[in-house]
């Protein structure tokens, strides 16, 4: 199944060119022009990755980033802007962005970032599944013994 990507940018040309390139690379792509529509679309039908412009006409991109992360903390979000300031990039990364690219960017660079972000998400999901299975297998809920010695044995097992 192909991954779904949401492109959020107020510039129609950017949305169109990025959308076409990603569709040609095998992704399903949704495009919206503002933060409000991005949040609504994600709440109604979540996507696998978001490419988000910093400067939007209605809501600041950092605010949209934070709202999306509240809904889905593991969601990979790649921020982009034509106004590259180091402080803004640092704030975006601290707020949970996977990466921060300055416009104009090379499409190949964006495709690599998307591939890496989706692979990182997949690995995290696999690790979470392994940890869950491990907890279910080794939960010791039927063991008796609250003494310090028994608790030490439980930790070692």
Average pLDDT rounded to a whole number, residues 10-22? 95
Q: Strand 77-81 to strand 99-102: parallel, antiparallel, or no bridges (unpaired)?
A: parallel
Radius of gyration of the chain (CA): 20
Average pLDDT rounded to a whole number, residues 45-60? 96
Share of the chain above pLDDT 70, in %: 92
Supply 78's token pair: 């790649």
pLDDT at 69 over 90: yes
Torsion of CA 64, 70, 71, 76, to 10 degrees: 70
Closest CA to 8 of 87, 78, 73: 78
Domains of the chain: residue spans and CATH: 4-156 (3.40.50.2300)
Supply 141's token pair: 């809920």
Identify the pLDDT of residue 156.
Answer: 74
pLDDT digits (tens, 9 = 90+) for 84-118: 678 888 999 999 999 999 888 888 999 999 999 99
Distance set, CA 85 to CA 60, 80, 88, 89, 152 (Å): 15, 11, 5, 6, 52
Query: Do 54 and 80 meet the contact criterion of CB atoms below 8 Å apart?
Result: yes
Range of lowest pLDDT (48-52, 68-72, 147-151): 147-151
Which is more confidently placed, 80 or 141?
Answer: 80
Identify the pLDDT of residue 104.
Answer: 84
Threshold 0.95, pTM exceeds? no
pLDDT at 50 over 70: yes
């Amino acid at each position: 199944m192909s991954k779904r990507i949401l492109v959020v940018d107020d510039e129609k040309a950017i949305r169109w060119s990025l959308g076409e390139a990603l569709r040609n690379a095998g992704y399903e792509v949704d495009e919206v022009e503002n933060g409000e529509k991005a949040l609504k679309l994600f709440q109604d039908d979540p996507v696998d990755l978001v490419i988000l412009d910093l400067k939007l006409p209605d809501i600041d991109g950092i605010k949209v980033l934070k709202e999306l992360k509240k809904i889905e903390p593991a969601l990979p979000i790649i921020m982009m802007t034509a106004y590259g300031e180091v402080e803004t990039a640092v704030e975006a990364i601290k707020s949970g962005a996977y990466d921060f690219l300055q416009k104009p960017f090379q499409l190949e660079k964006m495709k690599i970032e998307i591939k890496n972000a989706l692979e990182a998400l997949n690995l995290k999901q696999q690790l979470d599944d392994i940890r869950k299975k491990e907890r279910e297998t080794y939960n010791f809920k039927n063991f008796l013994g609250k003494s310090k010695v028994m608790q030490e044995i439980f930790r070692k097992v």
